[in-house]
A = this chain, B = another copy of it.
Amino acid sequence: MNSTDTTAELLENRKTEASAWFEDLRNQICKAFEDLEDELTGTNADQEPGRFERKTWQRPDQVGETGGGGTMSIMRGRVFEKVGVNISTVHGTFSEQFRKEIPGAEESEGKFWASGLSLVAHMHSPLVPAIHMNTRFIVTSKSWFGGGTDLNPMYEIEAETQEFHDVLKATCDKYDPAYYPKYKEWCDDYFMIKHWNEPRGVGGIFFDYLDSGDWQTDFNFTQDVGRAFLDIYPRLVARHMNENWTEEQREWQLIKRGRYAEFNLVYDRGTRFGLMTGGNPEAVLMSLPPEARWP
């Protein structure tokens, strides 16, 4: 076996490991969310607890070959009004135009491989924050991790914003004290609804192109971001899901969701990339709220 074989084999192992982790994380998240469905005692407790349903899809590559695919897990429950947890592992060739924008894609002649998990939860209760989380591993002639999570309360509780950020900061600080301030700022910049000059939510972290030179450590960090999410979000849901809410609070939630939809459709890179490159629109648009208002 020569060194090229070894390098290629190493990369294949990394792809397999990363994909396996995204599936594992998906399973842990779905279990945690179904447990919350079981534990509800407040509004909607007369309904059956929700359960995830899975739907797989295949991605036609741009040259007509099958380019991998994914599995959408979606639950329409009694706590979670609509939550999608998508995993996908796809490969293919970027257009001449698009490859200029992606690190290492000109050198790979546009060839790419990508695997990731993407999650958006819209809750029945306006007192429970909505959330987004995703992590991914991308390979062109380079390879890197990216991802993040941001919290979207309808009514901010400052101590909880702090609690959410503290968990993310602790995760980041295990790896590099520079990560949290950098990734927090990136998140704040990214999730700005520019036309309203208004943030989408109360932030979190956002990172991309993470390749420190130590793959295992970067992978550990990416896994820990997933674990941090699993630690903090179900706790916030459990804390508020049994509280009663008013019609006025629900109305405000629907208006905030309209703004959330504006952000995703006008600015979100993943959404626009997915729609413009022939991604599965059902999976790409799973982030959109079940109900929204622009009164």
Point out residues on A near B: beta carbons under 8 Å. 76, 82, 194-196, 254, 258, 261-262, 265-266, 272, 275, 279, 281, 284-285, 288-295
Contact = CB atoms under 8 A, between A and B. Distances in A.
Given A195-B281, A262-B288, A265-B266, 13 more contacts: A82-B294, A82-B295, A195-B275, A195-B279, A196-B281, A258-B288, A266-B266, A266-B272, A266-B275, A285-B294, A289-B294, A292-B292, A292-B294
Count of chain copies: 2
A257 to B, nearest CB: 10
Contacts of A262: 265, 285, 288
A261 B294 CA distance: 10
A64 to B, nearest CB: 17
A290 B289 contact: no
For the complex, would chain A's binding face be called helix, strand, loop or mixed by DSSP majority?
helix
Contacts of A195: 275, 279, 281, 284-285
A294 B288 contact: yes
Which 10 A-B pairs have CB atoms at the shortest separation, nearest pair first? A265-B265, A288-B294, A195-B275, A195-B281, A291-B293, A265-B266, A292-B292, A290-B295, A196-B281, A262-B265
